[in-house]
Amino acid sequence: MVTRRGGCLCGAVRYEVEGEPLRVGLCHCADCRKESGSSFVTFAVWPTSSFRSTGDLKTFDGRGFCSECGSRLFNPGAKETEIRVGSLDDAPAGLKPEYEIWVIRRETWLHPMPVPQYSGDRFPPERSGEVSSPG
């Protein structure tokens, strides 16, 4: 079984996750852009039962960050934990996005990936908001 490890910039918060993620995505929403200081965020989601962390994690609106250096790391949840792929120790992590969300906010100079594209959040098929499905 694969174990991936990661942590913050200063090393005060460390985590590990076992197995493969449930899904991997790319987000262009305003919140992800602001919290990362970048044009988009790459994230992966694992069952919380596969996730462990140590260190002093602070949260704001469900988003976890190191209390020392402020690095954004993961969103701890009861059933699922969303990890910022850039916080993994090994880069590249070999985790390829399977979809993009909030593409209406994607920078015009970024090209769509050949994965399903959603104008907002990813919803069940009957309410998908999907704007295209590359072939």
The pLDDT, as a whole number, for residue 131 is 38
Report the candidate in 83, 85, 110, 82 with the shortest Cα–Cα distance to residue 95: 85
The pLDDT, as a whole number, for residue 117 is 96
- Stretches where the chain sits below pLDDT 70 are 123-135
**CA dist., res. 101 & res. 128, Å (int):** 11
The pLDDT, as a whole number, for residue 92 is 78
Fold category of 3-132 in CATH: glutathione-dependent formaldehyde- activating enzyme (gfa) (3.90.1590)
Category of 33 on φ-ψ map: left (φ > 0), alpha (ψ -120 to 50) or beta: alpha
The pLDDT, as a whole number, for residue 91 is 81
